[in-house]
């Protein structure tokens, strides 16, 4: 058979068989009943708000949390049925305790159950090369994107186990791909992914599923051209970079412009709906997936993740240093 026919057929067979095996190997879990409550952190904007609206429309009761009381009131003032704004600063243990009690009281009052939590919020600190980044700046990512997830999960677990609820984490494609100057964000997300993997094993006997949603690039407040430029500026503009890392400093402007002009516009067209669909699936499927990759970098993030997992690490390294 000619290679140009054989190769696509082989790819389709390989893709379908791995997708099929991945699906049938998933364990079955009790499915949260309609009307159960879900807590979504960082739900004032972007992926969190979009998912909150979708889940409430599907009949779940959503506690949409945000950092300030004022923002929580603004969410409640949207008057979306089955959705209420709550104040939860991920850096405040006191807020976590109050939210846990609020959910408990809601369950006792309504007789409904707690379907679980979506760990979505993260405080974005200042990124930079390891040598040039203050520890406090890196800690902003760790505190909100990892330590807060651990603490909030701990507080909610008695209720989640009792109600066969679920834990969903919004990590990132960045958990797979390193980027010079991006370690604080990527290491937080990679650690979050492993946290979820361990938790999945721990909660399996209790009938509680754990899902990791690792978006590629989704058009949100975090992912506007202005925000991405600011982010890259922080990483690549310090004068110290020229001196210590001339290889990257020389490439920086060119590659940032290239990345923004060639990639951002593809990012902007990416449909947020795919993340909503996956968060809904995480709570409503009897066999929810373990890790999923919504979004796109020109090619679907899911396909890119699979390709990267098959390439030798040294080849991925070469590709990244050529970019
Ligand atoms: N957009 C993408 O392309 C993309 C790709 C991969 C992963 N992600 C992940 O998706 C998640 C949502 O991001 P997004 O793109 O939707 O950005 P976003 O619209 O900026 O949402 C981030 C949310 O985090 C909240 N937050 C920040 N600091 C907080 C704190 N201390 N306590 C509580 N909440 C806090 C913000 O709440 P306030 O408004 O109250 O400050 C905001 O609602 C993040 O975990 C992000 O890493 C996004």
* pLDDT tens sequence across 292-307: 998 877 778 888 898 8
Flag whether 251 is in a domain. no
DSSP 173: G
Flag whether 232 is in a domain. no
Tell me, using a 6 A CB cutoff, whether residue 71 lines ligand 1: yes
Tell me, using a 6 A CB cutoff, whether residue 275 lines ligand 1: no
CA of 14 to the centre of ligand 1 (A): 35
Flag whether 173 is in a domain. yes
Tell me, using a 6 A CB cutoff, whether residue 64 lines ligand 1: no
**Under 8 Å CB-to-CB from 143, ≥6 apart: which residues?**
90, 91, 123
> Would you state the pLDDT for residue 262?
56
Query: What six digits make up the tokens of 108?
Result: 């006792």
> Would you state the pLDDT for residue 106?
98
Give me the mean pLDDT over the 266-275 stretch: 61
> Which one, of 51, 12, 7, 155, lies nearest residue 93 by Cα?
155
Residues making up the chain, counted from first to last: 323
Query: What six digits make up the tokens of 208?
Result: 């509680």
- Given a cut of 80, whether residue 53 has pLDDT beyond it is yes
- pLDDT tens digit string along 1-17? 677 788 888 888 887 88
DSSP 118-141: EE----------GGGS-HHHHHHH
Alpha-carbon gap, residue 38 to 42, rounded angstroms: 13
- pLDDT tens digit string along 143-185? 999 999 999 999 999 999 999 999 999 999 999 999 888 999 9
Flag whether 187 is in a domain. yes
- Given a cut of 80, whether residue 256 has pLDDT beyond it is no
> Would you state the pLDDT for residue 126?
81
CA of 46 to the centre of ligand 1 (A): 7
Upper half-sphere CA count for residue 93 (Cβ side, 13 Å): 5
Query: What six digits make up the tokens of 205?
Result: 């006997």
Pick the more confident residue, 235 or 97: 97
Q: Where residue 270 falls among pLDDT bands split at 50, 70, 90? A: low
**Under 8 Å CB-to-CB from 279, ≥6 apart: which residues?**
51, 54, 55, 118, 168, 213
| CATH code at position 124 | 3.40.50.720
Q: Where residue 37 falls among pLDDT bands split at 50, 70, 90? A: very high
Alpha-carbon gap, residue 68 to 87, rounded angstroms: 5
Upper half-sphere CA count for residue 33 (Cβ side, 13 Å): 7
Q: Which domain covers residue 288, as residue numbers?
A: 31-219+271-311
Average pLDDT of the chain is: 89
Beta strand extents in the chain (DSSP E only):
37-40, 61-66, 83-87, 114-119, 166-170, 210-213, 291-292
Tell me, using a 6 A CB cutoff, whether residue 144 lines ligand 1: yes
Flag whether 104 is in a domain. yes
Flag whether 225 is in a domain. no
Flag whether 93 is in a domain. yes
Q: What is the number of structural domains in the chain? A: 1
Query: What six digits make up the tokens of 132?
Result: 């040039």
Flag whether 230 is in a domain. no
Alpha-carbon gap, residue 53 to 92, rounded angstroms: 25
């Amino acid at each position: 058979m000619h290679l140009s026919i054989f190769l696509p057929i082989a790819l389709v067979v390989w893709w379908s068989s791995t997708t099929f095996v991945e699906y049938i190997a998933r364990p079955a879990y009790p499915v949260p009943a309609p009307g159960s409550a879900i807590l979504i952190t960082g739900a004032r904007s972007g992926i969190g708000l979009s998912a909150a609206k979708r889940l409430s429309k599907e009949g779940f009761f959503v506690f949409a949390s945000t950092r300030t009381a004022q923002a929580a009131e603004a969410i409640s003032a949207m008057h979306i049925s089955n959705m209420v704004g709550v104040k939860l600063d991920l850096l405040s243990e006191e807020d976590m305790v109050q939210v846990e009690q609020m959910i408990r009281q809601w369950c006792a009052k309504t007789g409904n159950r707690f379907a679980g939590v979506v760990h979505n919020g993260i405080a974005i600190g200042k990124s930079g090369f390891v040598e040039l980044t203050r520890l406090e700046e890196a800690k902003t990512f760790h505190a909100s994107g990892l330590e807060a997830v651990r603490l909030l999960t701990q507080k909610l677990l008695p209720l989640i186990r009792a109600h066969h609820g679920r834990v969903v984490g919004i990590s990132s494609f960045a958990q797979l791909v390193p980027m010079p100057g991006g370690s604080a964000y990527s290491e937080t997300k990679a650690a979050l992914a492993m946290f979820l993997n361990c938790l999945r094993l721990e909660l399996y006997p209790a009938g509680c599923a754990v899902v990791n949603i690792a978006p590629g690039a989704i058009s949100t407040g975090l992912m506007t051209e202005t925000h991405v430029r600011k982010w890259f500026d922080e990483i690549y503009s310090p004068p110290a970079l020229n001196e210590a890392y001339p290889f990257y400093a020389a490439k920086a402007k060119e590659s940032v412009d290239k990345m923004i002009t060639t990639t951002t516009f593809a990012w902007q067209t990416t449909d947020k709906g795919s993340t909503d669909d996956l968060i809904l699936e995480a709570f409503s499927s009897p066999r929810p997936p373990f890790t999923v990759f919504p979004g796109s970098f020109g090619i679907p993030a899911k396909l890119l993740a699979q390709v990267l997992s098959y390439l030798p690490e040294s080849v991925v390294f070469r590709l990244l240093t050529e970019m």
